[in-house]
Amino acid sequence: MYPVITAFDHLVFAEAPKLIYWELTRACDLACKHCRAEAIAERDPLELSTEEAKALLAELRAFGDPPPQLVLTGGDPLKRPDFFELIRHGRSVGLPISVAPSGTPLLTSDAISALAANGVVSMSLSIDGSTAESHDRFRGVAGCFDTTMRAIHAVRAAAIPLQINTLVTPETMTELPDVFRLLRDLGIMRWSLFYLIATGRGRALREIRPSEAEALHNWIYDIVKTAPFAIKATEAPHFRRVAYMRMRLEGLDDAAIRQTPIGRGFGIRDGNGIMFISHTGDVYPSGFLPAIAGNVRRESPVALYRHSEIFTKLRDADQYSGKCGICEFRWVCGGSRARAFAETGDPMGSDPLCAYRPEAAMVGATEGD
């Protein structure tokens, strides 16, 4: 029998997701190199209509209490003329709503004030370089960095909690310390480091190596202790393994680790606590894992999350193959299901970015010598 961390065994979120990401539109005025959505200039006529969108909001509330956090994203959700109408409707049915607009001229101070007035609980913006030159090169539009920085100050003035997203690739990784220093004085609530998944336009970019990811995990753990904001590793759940091992070395027991901000995220991954809805209503385990469970035009999103084959499979870490399936951290981490899918076409496979060798693999190797 391979070892398990029994205190965190079977972390399953089967009844409701913690986070629902809804891609309202794929229309966007940016041309980002890594865009998951392969965003386009104009709206797709197959997008959910206003009435369909309002009906979906009511269905999402059927997940029960506490309701999932709903993130309205894109493309750029500001490209939908009914964006604020949908926010108001979602709030009226009792959904906590966050927004993820693009850093374009559409994100005016008036738009930010309207977001605050309509009760969004948080929003996110992206900074992919510490300078205008490096950020704009990645975003594909000159002036994007300055537009985003103005928006950050307006969001702070409107008292909306703000998350900053930064993509992790070989091109951006050397700038991360400078980005961290840039963000320290901006009053943000969270910095989310998005480890590249080779999907959408991101297929043209190169991911960092497993050894680089391991070093970055340890750097994040070191700076999180003094950072004035939370730090999150997105599509890199093996950061939890590094954090767990570091905290145990520092003397924390499992109960104390579970109460830390990092520990409270244990187990959450694509399809297990996460759900994504596309602009046309397709339901995926995450925006980076385009395996369709069904469509909200024909089926209940609650039923799709709870009972569809892809979601139920992904929630069972004991069914993963390769080293992810025998790893003692499989319920804490589970690897990026999206990266496994992008690499092999199998969402149940191993995450190739993880450098860790499970204890069971080492025992097997010893026994076979």
Q: What is the CATH number of the domain that holds 140?
A: 3.20.20.70
54-89 in b/e form (b: 16+ CB < 10 A) is: bebbebbbebeeebbbbbbbbbbbbbbebbbebbeb
**Token representation of residue 66:** 């506490």
pLDDT of 111-149, one tens digit each? 999 999 999 999 999 999 999 998 888 777 788 899 999
Which residues, 6+ apart, have CB-to-CB distance to 259 below 8 Å? none
**Token representation of residue 206:** 């190169």
Q: How confident is the model over 314-322, as a mean pLDDT?
A: 96
More confidently predicted of 269 and 30: 269
Residue 365 in this model has a pLDDT that exceeds 70: no
**Token representation of residue 287:** 């925006």
Q: Is residue 308 part of a domain?
A: yes
pLDDT value for 362: 60
Q: How confident is the model over 154-162, as a mean pLDDT?
A: 97
* Dist. CA 181–CA 101, nearest whole Å: 23
* Dist. CA 339–CA 351, nearest whole Å: 6
**Token representation of residue 196:** 């590249």
**Token representation of residue 266:** 């244990």
Q: Is residue 129 part of a domain?
A: yes
| Nearest CA-CA partner of 168 in 192, 198, 193, 190 | 193
Q: How confident is the model over 351-368, as a mean pLDDT?
A: 73
Is the backbone of residue 93 left (phi > 0), alpha (psi -120 to 50) or beta? Answer: alpha
Q: How confident is the model over 256-279, as a mean pLDDT?
A: 96
pLDDT value for 223: 97
Q: Is residue 1 part of a domain?
A: no
pLDDT band, very low/low/confident/very high, at 1 (cuts 50, 70, 90) = very low
Helix (H) or strand (E) holding 325: helix 322-326
* Dist. CA 349–CA 320, nearest whole Å: 6
Can you tell me which residue has the tokens 């709030």?
91
Residue 3 in this model has a pLDDT that exceeds 60: no
Query: Using alpha carbons only, what angle is made at residue 21 by residues 179 and 114, rounded to the nearest 5 degrees?
Result: 75
**Token representation of residue 260:** 């830390």
* Dist. CA 148–CA 218, nearest whole Å: 29
For the chain, the average pLDDT equals 91
More confidently predicted of 128 and 36: 128
pLDDT band, very low/low/confident/very high, at 354 (cuts 50, 70, 90) = very high
CA gyration radius, the chain:
20
Query: Helix 238-249 to helix 210-224 angle, to the nearest 10 degrees?
Result: 50
Domain that includes residue 286, residue range:
6-368
pLDDT of 329-346, one tens digit each? 999 999 999 999 999 999
- Number of structural domains found in the chain: 1
Other Cβ atoms less than 10 A from the Cβ of 6: the count is 10
Question: What's the first-to-final CA gap in the chain, in angstroms?
Answer: 19
Which residues, 6+ apart, have CB-to-CB distance to 147 below 8 Å? 103, 104, 105, 107
State the pairing for strand pair 294-295/282-284.
antiparallel
